[in-house]
A = this chain, B = another copy of it.
Amino acid sequence: MAIPDRDIPTNRLEAFSDAVIAIIITIMVLELRAPAEPTLAGVLKVVPEFLTYALSFLVVAIIWVNHHPLMHAAQTATARLLWSNLYLLFCMSFVPFVTEFLGRDYREPLAVALYGLDLFLCTAGFYFLRMELIRQSRGDAVLTKYQKHIQMKNAIAAGLYFVSVPLAYLTIYASYSIFVLLPALYFWPEKTLLGE
C-alpha cells in the first residue's frame, strides 16, 4: 500500500457543506418563539421576524442551489478550493445571527448594515471559489469564458450587497430594496446576477 491520498474528495466536501447549510437554514427558525400572547396581535408581533427568516431562507436556498454546479465544476479539491469553501460556510454561519438581529431591530441602520455586510461576505466567498475554478479551467477557452461570465455576475451581486452597507445609514429602504431585488432577479428568466 502506498502513502495514503491526502486529498479531500469533492463528494465529502459536498456532503459536509450540505450538512452545514441544512443546519444553518433550519436553526434560524429556532429564533421564532411562540408568540407571548395567543392573540392575533401577539402573532403579528412575530411578523418582522417571520419576514426576515423567509428572506434569509430564500438567500440560503439560492446559495445552496448555486453551490452545487460550482462544486460539480471543480476538477480537484485543492487546498484553495477547500478553504474558500470553509470561508463561505463560516460567513454563512452568521446568517442566523444577522437574521435574528434584523428581525428584532428591523428599523435600525446598524442591523440592516450588518445583514448586508454578511451577505456581501458570502457573495465574496463565491467569488473566491469561482476564482479557483477559473484557475482550474486554464487551457479550455470555452470553459474559461463561461466561468468568467458567471464571475462578472458574482462581482455585480457582491458590489450591490457592499453598497447596501453604507446605504443603510442614508435610508434603510434602499438597502432593503437590494435585499429583495437580488433574490427576485434570480427567478427572472435570464437568471441574472444570483443565478448561473
List A residues at the B interface (Cβ < 8 Å).
Answer: 1-6, 8, 12, 14-16, 18-27, 29-30, 32-35, 38-40, 43, 54, 57, 61, 64-65, 68-69, 72-73, 75, 82, 86, 89-90, 93-94, 96-97, 100-101, 104-105, 108, 110-111, 114, 137, 140, 142-143, 146, 196
Report the minimum CB–CB distance from A38 to chain B (whole Å): 4
Q: Which residues from chain B contact A33 at a C-beta distance below 8 Å?
A: 100
Q: In whole angstroms, what is the CA distance A16 to B25 when docked?
A: 11
Is the beta-carbon distance between B26 and A18 smaller than 8 angstroms? no
Contact of B12 with A18 in the complex, beta carbons under 8 Å: yes
Contact between B25 and A27 (Cβ–Cβ < 8 Å)?
no
> Are B20 and A26 within 8 A (Cβ)?
yes
Nearest CB of chain B from residue A143's CB, rounded to whole Å: 6
Q: Which residues of B contact A29 (CB under 8 A)?
A: 93-94, 96-97
Residues of B within 8 A of A140 (CB): 1
Query: When chains A and B are docked, how far (Å) is the Cα of A134 from the Cα of B10?
Result: 27
* Distance, CA A40 to CA B137, complexed state (A): 43
- A64 near B16 with CB under 8 A, answer yes
Shortest CB-to-CB span from A85 to chain B, Å, is 10
Asked whether B93 lies within 8 Å of A34 as measured between CB atoms, the reply is no
Which of A2, A34, A64, A96 gathers most chain B CB within 10 Å? Answer: A34
Q: What are the residues of chain B within 8 A of A2 when measuring CB–CB? A: 143
CB neighbours of A30 from chain B (8 A): 27, 30, 96
| Residue in chain B with minimal CB distance to A8 | B68
In the assembled complex, the CB of A28 is this many whole angstroms from the nearest CB of chain B, namely: 8
